[in-house]
Every structure is written in C-alpha cells, then in structure tokens.
Amino acid sequence: MAGSLHTPVLLEECIRYLKPYSPGVYVDGTLGLGGHTEALLLASAPGGRVIGFDWDESALSRATERLALFGSRFHFQRRNFAELAAGLQDCGISEIDGLLLDVGLSSLQLDLHEGRGFSFQTTATERELADIFYYYGEERQARPIAAAIVAGRQLQPVTTTRALVDLVFAAVPKRFHPKKIHVATKTFQALRIAVNGELENLDRVIDEGVRFLKCGAVVCIISFHSLEDLIVKKRFREHPLLEVVTPRPIMASADEVAVNPRARSARLRVACRRSNRE
C-alpha cells in the first residue's frame, strides 16, 4: 500500500457508523495491515468477531501477526472480496452486523509483480490502452502514453516496472508532469483497475454483502478513486434493500490529512440495510 502504511484512514468515522458491539460479527473486506480490523475487535470486545478478506499474501501475513492476540475472534480468508458469500458460507456465517471496505491503492510493484499487468499491456491495442488510461486513470496524456508503450514494445517487450515507468516518463512532455504524484501513477492505477476487474469486484461485493447484513446493520466503503466512489454512490442509491446514511461522502479532516496525506482523496459512504418488508 502506498502512503502511511500503519494509519487506517477515516477510522473514527467508520467506528462511529459501524457501532461495533459484543458479540457482533463484522467483515473487513480489505484487511490490508489490519488497522481497521484491530479497531473493530477492540470496540466489540469481549465477544465480537471479524472475518477479514485480502487477496494479497504479504498483507495477510502481516495482519495475522498483528491480530494474533485476538485469538479466535479474528478469522481471515485469502480471497477476492467479490467472493464474500462463498467466504462467509465457508465460515458458517449467515448474518453479519457490519461490512467495511477500504479499497485504497496498493503499490505499483505489488500489483504488477505477478506479471498480469505486463501481459495485459502486451496484448491490448493502442486504442484500448488509451481508453483504459483515460477512463480508469483519468490520465489526460492517455494517447501519447499508449502510443509510447506500443512503440516501445515493438522494439523490446516491456517486462519490468522500471521499463514501463521510463516509457511513460518520456512520453509525457515535461510541462505536463504532475507536481504531487509521479507521472506514471495514473497509468499504473488504470492498469491495476483493468487487470484486477476492480470496478466489477466492487459492484459484486455490495450485492453479496447486502444479503448478509442484518436489518439496521451498515456497510461502510472508503474509496480513493472517483469511478469507485461513483459506483458506491449509485449502488447505494439504487439498491432496494439499502438506505443511504451519508448523502454526501465523508472526507478526512484537515488534521487527519496533515498526519496521513493518503487520506486526502479518501471518501467514505455509508448505507444501512432495510428490512425486507419496507
């Protein structure tokens, strides 16, 4: 994960909405380093439980070490959170008291190590790449970047993060290099969203999660990307079993951003499960 590794974003706000109690059962779909889960376990002592999902092995091993002291109150699953229903069924859980997702950025290396990102940009056409960079990365230099990648890969396969970064760096005129982020950040973000099917995952987890939420229980989703936030906003509004709790997204306070710059672009949306009969 990029930024401040050990500082969970919008933590107080999530706890305020989730209102953890003992012996509630909570799902953290994006365990990461376990910061939010740790707070959920502390707030739901002595009997509350958390099921944590993460598809990243290294995040899981660090989180399980951190959360070992909670014993059987914490359980983890190495899975895509889009498979929430299957994961909960495996644990014999049919109802939950709250669902939390913090779909923050992972580091460039983390996502592209497995090679999926590279094989993807090897097969996509220039037009497809430009669309991905533009829509998923909101990258205004999408076309020159896509052209540079296609020209570059004709000379030599692009198989390392460094090679891809160098191509993007050279493709974007110096005057368009952003000041606050690396010039290649949006390109990598776009590839990550496309390769991982992240928008589809989000869509699916909302659907699956709602079926498990008890009446009155809430789902909290923190996103860092406007497309993700838009999906959350729409799905919360349109879902017949959800009532929107936060008509506008909750943003981090200036104090939180000062300590944790990663929180600057975080948006939290909360919805509450209605009863079937309403």
Interaction site with ligand SAM (CB under 6 A): 1, 8, 30, 32-36, 53-56, 59, 80-82, 102-104, 106, 201
Cα–Cα dist 130/70, whole Å: 47
Least distance to ligand SAM from the beta carbon of 32, Å?
A: 2
Least distance to ligand SAM from the beta carbon of 189, Å?
A: 13
Q: Which of 277, 181, 271 is nearest to 233 (CA)?
A: 271
Residue sitting closest to ligand SAM (CB): 32
Which residue reads 């699956």 in tokens?
208
Least distance to ligand SAM from the beta carbon of 49, Å?
A: 17
Measured at the CA of 223, the angle between CA 186 and CA 113, to 5 degrees, comes to 50
Cα–Cα dist 241/274, whole Å: 5
Nearer to ligand SAM, 59 or 271 (CB): 59
Least distance to ligand SAM from the beta carbon of 12, Å?
A: 13
Pick left, alpha or beta for residue 56 (phi over 0 → left; psi -120 to 50 → alpha; otherwise beta): beta
Nearer to ligand SAM, 4 or 159 (CB): 4
Nearer to ligand SAM, 101 or 149 (CB): 101
Nearer to ligand SAM, 82 or 217 (CB): 82
Nearer to ligand SAM, 8 or 144 (CB): 8
Least distance to ligand SAM from the beta carbon of 104, Å?
A: 3
Structure tokens at 197: 């099917």
Structure tokens at 181: 């982020």
Structure tokens at 65: 């070490």
Nearer to ligand SAM, 31 or 171 (CB): 31
Nearer to ligand SAM, 33 or 150 (CB): 33
Cα–Cα dist 163/153, whole Å: 10
Structure tokens at 243: 């009532």
Cα–Cα dist 45/58, whole Å: 27
Nearby residues of 246 by Cβ (< 8 Å), 6 or more positions away: 268, 269, 270, 271
Least distance to ligand SAM from the beta carbon of 215, Å?
A: 26
Nearer to ligand SAM, 57 or 278 (CB): 57
Least distance to ligand SAM from the beta carbon of 170, Å?
A: 30
Least distance to ligand SAM from the beta carbon of 117, Å?
A: 14
Q: Are 34 and 63 in contact (CB under 8 A)?
A: yes
Query: Which amino acid is present at 272?
Result: C
Dihedral sign for Cα 176, 154, 196, 108, please.
negative
Q: Which of 23, 196, 234 is nearest to 103 (CA)?
A: 196
